[in-house]
Amino acid sequence: MVMLQMAEKSTKTKRRALLMNQAEPPTTTSLTRSKLASSQEPQPLPGDAFERMRMDPEIQTFRLRLLLGVSLVAGVVIILLVLSLYQAAQEQEAMKQSFGSVDAKTASAEAGKDGAAKSSSITSMIPPDEVMPPVTTGNLVFRPPGSEELKMASAAPDRSDSTENLARLAAAEEVLGKFLQAENWMQRLLLVRNQLRVASLMSIYYAKNADGPMLFDSIVEATELSPQFSEHVVVFEGGGRRLATVEQTAQGPRVDWESFVGAGEMAWSDFLETKPAVPKLFRVLVSPAGHFENQFGDPALLKCYSLRNISEPGAKVVYGYVDKQNPLAKELDYWLQQNNDATVPITVRLKFPLDALVDFQVWISHVVHAGWVTK
């Protein structure tokens, strides 16, 4: 038995109710209520849960969309792969056709010759549009590894005439030895080139210089400049050296006497003493210099060179001058630069100024040629 006390808001009157258990038989109403309550409770669905989820319309729609997307991507990949394979096959076929045409041309050009197959295979490796430079006789055109430029290499020198070359050099050395050992200049004259012109020069030269045999130790460094000329280095007993040039003539080897002694149109000492204002030819050793005085005192206008003549023992060194604007200055500088500004043998024409004050300053009026040998 439970006693409940209730109160109303308005009147605040307290009421009491008594709740009691009553053992009443079940009625139809109560049975209906119990069935209704039991029907509202959650009841398990019949069948497998996975099967019910798989048959869900939304899941089936999503699955269909996924399959369509995958199929579309796979189709695009397959199409691209087929196109790339087709393009590669077309390019390969085009290359075969182009190389085949080059091979056919080369094979037809080389038909009937030994090694035609090798020449055809080499030519086929060259692109058809590549222009090869003209091949100079005796040269080989090739492309170095890793380079895009074609190079030209000289073919190996022909050694078939080496015996003949050695024979010429040996004959030249023999005549040069006789030239050096001659008893006097008249015997020596028989072994020199240009005898008619040189005879008078030798007569004047040996009238002022010692005549007779030239004591030498050996002849070394024989060099063939051409089939016509060869150079030889003569080593004297005192240790000095001099270059001798020998020409192969119809009469046999002949020594160039003028270049050997450095002869000029007149004696070097006479030239310095008389101071002629008319140009005279001399063979001199030229080197750069910087001596400026007297009439040649302006380095802003003039180029200065040291000139040494070997025709006379102890000959005085003089200074030669050229206007900087004169082409002669460029020519002399060119030959000096070719030899790293070292001493260069040059054949020149020299003259003194009209009012020469000293005997060691001259004008260089003309450059005849580089070297001392007159061809």
Q: Is the pTM of this model over 0.85?
A: no
Q: How many other C-beta atoms lie within 10 A of the C-beta of residue 21?
A: 7
Give the angle 301-304-306 at the CA atoms, nearest 5°.
Answer: 170
Residue whose entry in the numeric block shows the structure tokens 């009841």:
43
Q: What are the residue ranges spanned by the domains of the chain? A: 162-261, 268-370
Sort residue 119 into left (φ over 0), alpha (ψ -120 to 50) or beta: alpha
The whole-number pLDDT of residue 24 equals 53
Beta bridge mates, 230: 224, 246
**Alpha carbons 264 and 343: distance in angstroms, whole number:** 19
| Nearest Cα to Cα of residue 161 among 251, 227, 250, 249 | 227
216, 236 in Cβ contact below 8 A? yes
The number of residues making up the chain comes to 375
SS3 135: coil
The whole-number pLDDT of residue 117 equals 45
302, 296 in Cβ contact below 8 A? yes
SS3 letters for 160-191? CCHHHHHHHHHHHHHHHHHHHHCCCHHHHHCC
The whole-number pLDDT of residue 157 equals 47
As a CATH number, domain 162-261 is: 3.10.450.50
Q: For 225, which DSSP code?
A: S
SS3 93: helix
Per-residue pLDDT in tens (0 to 9) along the chain, 375 residues: 555 655 555 555 555 554 555 555 555 555 555 555 555 555 555 556 666 666 677 777 877 888 888 888 888 888 888 888 887 777 777 666 655 554 555 445 554 545 444 444 444 444 444 444 554 444 455 555 555 555 555 544 444 457 778 888 899 999 999 999 999 999 999 999 999 999 999 998 898 888 999 988 888 878 888 888 999 999 988 778 889 999 999 999 999 999 999 989 888 999 999 999 999 999 999 999 999 999 999 999 999 999 999 888 888 999 999 999 999 999 999 999 988 878 899 999 999 999 899 999 999 999 999 899 987
Cα dihedral 161/162/164/168 (nearest 10): 140
Number of H helices and E strands in the chain, helices first, is 10, 13
The whole-number pLDDT of residue 71 equals 85
Interhelix angle for 57-109 vs 116-124, to 10°? 140
Beta strand segments in the chain, E:
2-7, 14-19, 139-142, 151-154, 216-224, 229-236, 241-249, 252-255, 280-288, 302-308, 318-323, 344-351, 361-370
Q: How many other C-beta atoms lie within 10 A of the C-beta of residue 234?
A: 21
CA distances from 189 to 199, 241, 245, 258 (A): 7, 22, 15, 11
339, 363 in Cβ contact below 8 A? no
Residue whose entry in the numeric block shows the structure tokens 């003949």:
164
**Alpha carbons 141 and 336: distance in angstroms, whole number:** 34
Residue whose entry in the numeric block shows the structure tokens 């045999």:
213
One-letter amino acid for residue 211 of the chain: D
Burial (CB count within 10 angstroms: exposed 0-12, middle 13-18, buried 19+), residue 365: middle
Name residues whose C-beta falls within 8 Å of residue 101's C-beta, 6 or more positions apart in sequence: 128
The whole-number pLDDT of residue 326 equals 92
257, 203 in Cβ contact below 8 A? no
Q: Using DSSP bridges, classify how beta strands 280-288 and 14-19 pair: parallel, antiparallel or unpaired.
A: unpaired
| Nearest Cα to Cα of residue 363 among 308, 332, 319 | 319
Residue whose entry in the numeric block shows the structure tokens 């509202």:
40
